[in-house]
Amino acid sequence: MSEVHITARALAALLGRWRTADAAYRSLADRIRLLILDGRIPADTRLPAERDLAERLDVSRTTVTAAYRELRDSDFLESIRGSGSIAQLPGVRPGPVPSSPLGYLDFSKAALPAAPQLADAAQRAALRLPHYLDAFDYDTVGLPELRSAIADRYIDAGLPTSPDEILITLGAQHAIGLIARTHLSRGDRAVIEHPTYPHAQDALRAAGARLVPVVVTAEDGWNTENLEQAIDQSSPTIAYLMPDFHNPTGATMSVEARRRVCRAAARQGTVLVIDETTAELDIDRGTPFVPFAASDDAGASILTVGSVGKTVWGGLRIGWIRADRGVIRKLVAARSVGDLGTPILEQLTVLELVPTMPDILRGRRHQLAATRDLVERVLADRLPHWEVPHVSGGLAIWAGLGAPVSSQLVLAARSQGLLIAAGPRFGIDGAFERFLRIPITYPLADTERALDALSVAWQSIMRAPVPDAALLAEVV
């Protein structure tokens, strides 16, 4: 029996404006399918009873029954006697046959292709591996050479760091989850940006945190006063922040704001979890990267998360945590509950890549700049009503649609062969239906195809009858 369930009230909030010109049951099924696909309804979650959802949505029970039946027929729901309807992901992505002859484009992730230096580095690492076969097996801390190399990069960036202040992890998500499990108890408050990196939000929720959202916008970034108030008034155990090229807005926090956040955290004893996985993906910011912790003049407790997943390749699952020695010891002691260490060969590969990071980052800068400029140019021409902020770095553009139709647009884009994440995937309780995250990490030809698909999908939903007539008025 599924231990995770979603109430009718919570599901209604996630559904938002789910009605389209299609039949009600099919519109409802499509929206629930999207929620399962993008993770807002995790697999193995028990959906509300048909009667409860019908009452909450003010529709007939027949409508909900038909929607659930369609989801079962497409393998998105499994009905278990005594457990109700359980969400699941089918083995193959379903959906209408895409109109593109080249198949689906998956823009649901903002991830760069592997850096060209990776293959040679992996070969050199394999040659070094025999020297480690006798001394290392289950490595819960990290190779000393790699921890030293990462510490040196922090020193070069202006933040004194010792190798024993570094813990090597299985990527950034593993690091965030480990921090959440060791620092949070059920019911503790955690400040989180809104919108935010969805997998960090999932990790904090899984640890039992009560989330305290603080708004971030592409245009203005953080309201520092609001962020300080959130820390002072809620006394959170943790505040998770991505201050450089924030995902998904692309905003970067000012130096003065960083200092004020550190002081507020020090006052309340809040642990700052700083995600710097995108911090070095500068396009044209014009200033060198300085680690957030270098701004601390108040003695705040800061745990910095880094990885090579965004800069080198997502398939290279190596990340790290920079923290005080005592915190590192606590994390290492707790780690064995979930895993027994980081693979040696992958650590050696990253060790080989560290000296080439300046060249890798220069190449990434050129890739991201070219794709960003293409997205800005095409959207300005084809979808001029959209609000497209100019980003100076990071992996995506947080585009404003002018109407709360993000989920509807994403469903329409699937019929054009494009998989892309709806704005609410990055929010809480269905927020951000007016936004869409557009990655700038894919090759130019694929990006052009994706923008073509978005343009066609937009025209299709704008031509369709909309129950709320005010919706179209907001767009035009």
Q: Are 199 and 364 in contact (CB under 8 A)?
A: no
> What mean pLDDT value characterizes the chain?
91
Q: Which of 5-14, 16-25, 178-187 has the lowest mean pLDDT?
A: 16-25
Q: Is residue 297 helix, strand or coil?
A: coil
Cβ neighbourhood burial of 370 (10 Å; 0-12, 13-18, 19+): middle
Report field, pTM of the whole predicted structure over 0.75: yes
pLDDT digits (tens, 9 = 90+) for 44-85: 899 999 999 999 999 999 999 999 999 999 889 998 776 789
Rounded to the nearest 10 degrees, how much is the dihedral formed by the CA atoms of 55, 61, 66, 72?
Answer: 60
CB 413 within 8 A of CB 454: yes
Structure tokens given for 398: 């947080």
Q: Are 322 and 293 in contact (CB under 8 A)?
A: yes
For the cut 90, the answer to whether the pLDDT of residue 281 exceeds it is: yes
Q: State the pLDDT confidence band at 338, using cuts at 50, 70 and 90.
A: confident
Residue 472's pLDDT is 32
pLDDT digits (tens, 9 = 90+) for 361-403: 999 999 999 999 999 999 999 999 999 999 999 999 999 999 9
- Of 402, 401, 403, 393, nearest to 454 (Cα)? 401
Q: What is the 3-state secondary structure (H, E, C) of 146-206?
A: HHHHHHHHHHHCCCCCCHHHEEEECCHHHHHHHHHHHHCCCCCEEEEEECCCHHHHHHHHH
CA dihedral 163→175→237→208, nearest 10 degrees, is -160
Cβ-proximal residues to 80 (8 Å cutoff; 6+ apart), any chain: 1, 86
Q: For the sheet with 77-80, list strands across it.
A: 4-5, 45-46, 84-87, 77-80
Choose among 177, 166, 141, 147: nearest CA to 338: 177
Q: Which residue has 């957030």 as its token pair?
A: 292
Residue 417 CA from chain centroid, whole number: 22
Q: What residues have CB less than 8 Å from 27, skipping those under 6 apart?
A: 18, 19, 20
In this predicted structure, the answer to whether residue 466 has a pLDDT above a threshold of 50 is no
Q: How many Å apart are CA 465 and CA 472, to the nearest integer?
A: 9
Q: How far apart are the first and last CA of the chain?
A: 48
194 contacts 214 by C-beta, under 8 angstroms: yes
| H or E element in which residue 438 lies | strand 435-439
Mention every residue, 6+ apart, whose C-beta is less than 8 A from residue 205. 211
Q: Residue 317 is which amino acid? A: R
Q: How far apart are CA 271 and CA 209, in angstroms?
A: 14
Structure tokens at 243: 């201050």
User: What percentage of the chain exceeds 70 in pLDDT?
Assistant: 94
Helix or strand (DSSP H, E) at 214: strand 210-217
Structure tokens given for 210? 């009560």
Cα distances (Å, whole numbers) of residue 344 to 133, 137, 336: 9, 8, 17
Structure confidence by residue, pLDDT tens digits, 425-437: 999 877 899 999 9
Q: How far apart are the C-alpha atoms of 47 and 4, rounded to whole Å?
A: 9
Per-residue pLDDT reduced to its tens digit, 140-184 = 999 999 999 999 999 999 999 999 999 999 999 999 999 999 999
Under DSSP, the state recorded for 387 is: B
Tell me how far the alpha carbon of residue 46 is from its chain's centroid. 24
Rounded CA gap, 154 and 282, in Å?
A: 17
pLDDT band at 469 (very low <50, low <70, confident <90, very high): very low
Q: How many CA atoms lie within 13 A of 250 on its CB side?
A: 26
Judge contact between 287 and 318, C-beta under 8 A: no
| Contact status, residue 129 vs residue 345, Cβ threshold 8 Å | yes
- Residue 436 has φ and ψ, to the nearest 5°, of -140, 130
Distance CA 108, CA 175 (A): 22
d(CA 213, CA 192): 5
